[in-house]
Structure 1
Amino acid sequence: MTEPKVANLPTTDLSHIFCGNQTEIWLRFKNSAVNDLAWVIFSPDLVEKELGNSVSAGKTLWGLPDSQQAVIHWLTKLDENISLRGLPDRYTLTIKQSPQRLGVYFEQLIAFALQSLPAVKTNRPALLAQNIQINEDGITAGEFDFLLQDQQNQLLHVEAAVKFFLLPQKASLPYDPMHWLGPNAKDKLGLKIDHLLAKQLTLFQRSKAARKKALQLNGNPTSCEAQSQYLVKGMFFIHWSALIAQPAIANAECLMGHWIHEKELKNLIEANKTSQYFTVSLLKKTEWLTGNGVNNPLTAFDLPSPSAIPYMLELTHQPEHSFADDVHTEKKTSRLMVVNNYWPEINSPSRMI
């Protein structure tokens, strides 16, 4: 892994944190759901393409990179379709599928792509079943996120997850996955990967009931085995004044953002409120994948209440030499995760003994 290249900077300087730009495939389209779909397909994996005996499912699911132009053509046609029939909508998830459940929306987008992508041009597998719970001897053995059948009638089991992990400022081993925590500090990247490898991806091998169910769903089985793969997307966050760091199992091209304590945020916004080149927008949970593309600047006076923490902000930078209505302008964006003032402590200091 290369050495970090970002130095510590004054605590109100935003200029160093802009790394993304509007040319990414998942920011090209008019419809937000199409952008989200493109993000699911084209955004870089969060972790390495090989973990244990399993590999990332990206190439298997979408045929990338060979099918890239075919997939982009499909997304473009979808974006031009006013009805967008069947495409999951980030803003209309049912009550049962709470808008706070970003993972539900993520899986809906995967399922839509697996059912709608032109199979001939992309060589994608067929979706047999989704979210199938496996019970064995009265005990839940696990669940298949996705059970698929490839062009050769082989079974494929895919576990999918969208995750966001932060590196605490005082972490002594930034390359250790156990030091990367979720907004809920009980969640750890190391524990997630251990569970993925030991439990989720071994379900077919561990459970006779799982094998029986899978073969029942496979109309033309040529093998009693199934290949298990993973699709893990998301973003890693470092403190916004910290040096760049990644966990050892990170995909070198993974998406990265910054995090900040709530008490630091007001000072940051106030220090940049007069700048015509920076805007800060609040994102709803289901906007975390590709943002909202809305220029609705946030001020220190309309920050969410502490009960809304953690929340995500989208920061946009317009180069000083450009004009706001210049379609050729390359705007740059970044993500800022806001956590409570005592994170990564699990409990408020007032309740700690």
Structure 2
Amino acid sequence: MMDAAGPTASFEAPSTARLDALSDAAVRDIAWLLFSPDLLRSQPPAGVLAMPFESPGAVAATIDWLDAQDADPAALHRHIADARVTRLGRYAECLLAWFLTHGPAARLIAANVPLRRKGITLGECDFLVETPTGRRLHWELAVKCYLHAGDGRGELADYVGPNLQDRFDLKLAHLLDHQLRLSAREEFASLGHRGPWDAQMFVKGWLFYRNGTNERDPAEIDPAHARGWWSTQADWPSFSSGHADAWIVLPRLEWLSPRIHDSQHASSFVSADALGQQLMQQTAPTMVAAFVGNAEGHWVERSRGFIVPDDWPERAHAFARRQAHQA
């Protein structure tokens, strides 16, 4: 089920049944960006959360718009193909830009606006948007997948990227101290985009916990955030036993919304044992998803997570602790 909490929590939440009924993967990904829970709570004064909708009417109009996109997604597919995206963050930007250009809520003014001083690029503002009531917003979009690799201390530094090149607390600090401040800089005023601009962070994604166990989340994290699990290769046989009969590796551009496949896709699924054997020689974490069949003949994602090499937990814990001392 596509969680409908998050940015629209102050309004009546849209029917999860209508969101779950969306069949096109790209349209479902747009809906997920707009309606899934935020990863973070608001971090005032600098870290205000983005609010895509100003009224219940805008929410309802967006659901109708998503239904129309789902019925005829050809133009959206051409937009994605023309963008030639290979990175998850750029894919998310591509989808949000489509909504802001063609959707019924906030209007796109500019995207990926570079800010330079004496020929040196200081950064880029992801999105400049104007709401129906005339508010002018600067959105910084981040879509992240972090694995909890801590020891119960309840700190944001415990959440690390699968390749151990990223960490949640450092990402948040960069958002607050650099990215969200770009539109308030003197150099930005010279670009001709009339302000003032209210900077907001648009942070979506998934957090993954060892064998699906509950951990004490840091105060910065929204308790409603999307959750998954991770398991070592050695733990995989016992963890996956009885979990699901159908498994598949998720390509990176399928890391946003929960997946749905029709019966023709069934040949791509493998058993848990076969998946474990397939990934035995992998040297990096791999995201996989479990599927179950429903009464309509579709395969619906039940859960998702990472299978990691047996030495990854130790390396991840050392990465979080060492970098924490250096930060």
TM-score computed with the length of structure 1 as normaliser: 0.74
Root-mean-square deviation over aligned CA pairs: 3.3
What are the superposed Cα offsets for residues 116-153 of structure 1, whole Å, 9 maximum, x if unpaired? 112xxxxx332111111111122221110011233454
C-alpha change, 1:233 and 1:25, in structure 2 (3 Å) is: farther
After superposition, residues 217-232 of structure 1 pair within 5 angstroms as 218=193, 221=194, 224-232=195-203
Q: Given the alignment, which residue of 326, 330, 337 partners 2:295?
A: 326
Distance 1:37 1:68 in 2: 13
After superposition, residues 188-227 of structure 1 pair within 5 angstroms as 188-205=167-184, 207-213=185-191, 216=192, 218=193, 221=194, 224-227=195-198
C-alpha change, 1:204 and 1:290, in structure 2 (3 Å) is: closer
Distance 1:84 1:308 in 2: 38
Deviation at 1:19, TM superposition (A): 11
Corresponding residue for residue 148 of structure 1: 129
Matched AA of 2:101: Q
Corresponding residue for residue 158 of structure 1: 139
C-alpha change, 1:253 and 1:65, in structure 2 (3 Å) is: farther
Corresponding residue for residue 218 of structure 2: 247
What are the superposed Cα offsets for residues 251-295 of structure 1, whole Å, 9 maximum, x if unpaired? 1211111111233224544x44xx8x6422221111111244234
Segment of structure 1 superposing worse, 253-262 or 66-75: 66-75
Contact 1:238 1:245 in 2 (8 A): no
1:31 to 2:31 alignment: no
Corresponding residue for residue 66 of structure 2: 75
After superposition, residues 1-353 of structure 1 pair within 5 angstroms as 23=16, 26-57=19-50, 59=51, 61-63=52-54, 65-81=56-72, 84-87=74-77, 92=81, 97-98=85-86, 101-118=87-104, 124-168=105-149, 170-174=150-154, 176-205=155-184, 207-213=185-191, 216=192, 218=193, 221=194, 224-240=195-211, 242-269=213-240, 271-272=241-242, 278-294=245-261, 295=266, 296-299=268-271, 300-302=273-275, 303-304=278-279, 306-307=281-282, 309-317=284-292, 324=293, 326-327=295-296, 333-344=302-313, 345=315
SS in 1 for 2:235: helix
Distance 2:43 2:310 in 1: 36
C-alpha change, 1:288 and 1:74, in structure 2 (3 Å) is: same
Select the structure that is richer in helix: 2
Matched AA of 2:251: K
Distance 2:167 2:294 in 1: 43
Distance 1:201 1:248 in 2: 21
SS in 2 for 1:55: coil
Q: Which has the higher contact order (CA 8 A, sep 6+)?
A: 1
Matched AA of 1:228: A
Distance 1:20 1:127 in 2: 25
Distance 1:37 1:182 in 2: 23
Contact 2:212 2:230 in 1 (8 A): no
Contact 1:26 1:43 in 2 (8 A): no
Matched AA of 1:340: P
Deviation at 1:347, TM superposition (A): 12
Deviation at 1:62, TM superposition (A): 3.1
SS in 2 for 1:35: helix
Contact 2:289 2:303 in 1 (8 A): yes
State the aligned residue count. Answer: 299
Deviation at 1:340, TM superposition (A): 2.5
Distance 1:330 1:114 in 2: 31
C-alpha change, 1:257 and 1:51, in structure 2 (3 Å) is: farther
C-alpha change, 1:19 and 1:245, in structure 2 (3 Å) is: farther
Contact 1:158 1:230 in 2 (8 A): yes
Contact 2:3 2:35 in 1 (8 A): no
Deviation at 1:26, TM superposition (A): 4.3
Contact 2:289 2:301 in 1 (8 A): no
Structure 2, unaligned runs of 5 or more:
5-14, 319-327
Distance 1:243 1:172 in 2: 10
C-alpha change, 1:185 and 1:79, in structure 2 (3 Å) is: same
Deviation at 1:66, TM superposition (A): 4.6
Q: Which has the larger radius of gyration?
A: 1
Structure 1, unaligned runs of 5 or more:
1-17, 119-123, 318-323, 349-353
Distance 1:71 1:152 in 2: 17
Segment of structure 1 superposing worse, 236-245 or 326-335: 326-335
